[in-house]
Amino acid sequence: MQNPDQTKKRADGAPSPLVGEGNRLSVPQHLRVHIHGWLLLLPAAVLLVAFTYYPAVRTIFDSLFSTPRGVRGAVFVGMDNYAAMLADPVFVRALVNNFVYAACVIPLTIALALSMALWVDGRIAGRPFLRLSFFTPTVLPMIAVANIWLFFYAPGYGLLDQILGLFGFSAHNWLGDQHTALACLIAVAIWKDAGFFMIFYLAALQQISPQLAEAAALEGASRWYFFRRVTFPLLMPTTLFVLVNAIINSFRLVDHIVVMTQGGPDNATALLLFYIYEVGFKFWDTAYAATLTVVLLTLLAVFALGQFLILDRRIHYQ
């Protein structure tokens, strides 16, 4: 039972002798704010470290060792894997193919996405249907897209040969010819990604004040002059975002190649990530695959730094 004197003290507002002041943990307000913020960031930080930073560091570490075979463990080989990579003609071919692929896909996809966004942003008949039709390829699975285009490119009875046959052209093995196979993959990638990037441009166009167009019209500015001097500069933040994603997409294509060409003919469509997939999961040379992955990560890091250090400084943010 409690002492009546103690109960009286608590009723009067005095601190209870059962709870000492030294037992109470006092944390400064600014420190509680920092702890609360870090606790909120902790789940995302754990996922980022577990699935981004640790795999990247582990890949660099594995590239310095040989591939373990059975009871024989990995052996430190230093830069031997990198020396073998530079002497590998398939790697050189895949790297060149990837640069050609990126140089074609990135500007054409961005230009097409911007053109479609400008078109469906205007007051035209059937605008909702056009927006849906432009965006539909984005939601299709990549394997399904590859199989659809396999029918288009099939020699003789494919849709492309059927259309060209109406104009007197003979049948052609589009995916079996070294001169046309990579171009066929480029067309599929542009068709697949343009609608996705169009959504970002369309959202950015709808954020531009219509008063700017009205003022330009009063000044007698042409539509092309208004686009070049006003619209496109205001779209540069979106263009930077789209450019970063387009570069990443151009270096991570595997699905279409596996279904449509398997890297052939004669490695004409072998891109860097597909070659990594083959080396790692077909030939089971994990150390060499890690070496190729380091090159891929380095290329993406260089492109990203160049974009944010050079282009970001020239961008006008509203």
- Reduced to 3 states, what is the DSSP secondary structure of residue 65? strand
List Cβ neighbours of 204 (8 Å cut-off, separation of 6 or more).
234, 235, 237, 238
Task: Check whether 68 has a pLDDT greater than 80.
Answer: yes
- What average pLDDT score do residues 12-35 get? 63
**What element of type H or E holds 135?**
helix 127-139
Tokens of 191: 């068709």
Q: How far is CA 248 from CA 87, 143, 211, 291, in A?
A: 26, 19, 36, 19
Which domains does the chain carry?
88-314 (1.10.3720.10)
Task: Check whether 5 has a pLDDT greater than 70.
Answer: no
- pLDDT of res. 304: 83
Q: What's the CA gap between 20 and 1, in Å, rounded?
A: 19
Task: Check whether 8 has a pLDDT greater than 50.
Answer: no
DSSP state of 222: -
Dihedral of alpha carbons 141, 142, 144, 145, sign: positive
- pLDDT of res. 229: 87
- pLDDT of res. 25: 58
With b for 16 or more beta-carbon neighbours within 10 A and e for fewer, the 208-218 pattern comes to eeeeebeebee
How deeply is 153 buried, as exposed, middle or buried, from its count of CB atoms within 10 A (0-12, 13-18, 19+)? buried
- pLDDT of res. 264: 87
Q: Which long-range contacts (CB under 8 A, 24 or more apart) does 247-254 make?
A: 247/102, 247/106, 247/300, 247/303, 247/304, 247/307, 248/300, 249/105, 249/189, 249/193, 250/98, 250/101, 250/102, 250/105, 250/106, 250/189, 251/98, 251/102, 251/296, 251/299, 251/300, 253/101, 253/185, 253/189
Q: Give residue 305's pLDDT band: very low, low, confident or very high (50, 70, 90).
A: confident
Task: Check whether 34 has a pLDDT greater than 90.
Answer: no
Question: How remote is the C-alpha of 36 from its chain's centroid?
Answer: 32
Number of helical (H) and strand (E) elements in the chain, helices listed first:
16, 0
- What average pLDDT score do residues 32-55 get? 91
Mean pLDDT, the chain, whole residue set:
86
Is the model more confident about 292 or about 308?
A: 292
- pLDDT of res. 7: 47
Q: Give residue 317's pLDDT band: very low, low, confident or very high (50, 70, 90).
A: low
- pLDDT of res. 316: 61
pTM of the model: 0.84
pLDDT digits (tens, 9 = 90+) for 174-206: 999 999 999 999 999 999 999 999 999 999 998
Is the model more confident about 19 or about 178?
A: 178
Task: Check whether 20 has a pLDDT greater than 50.
Answer: no
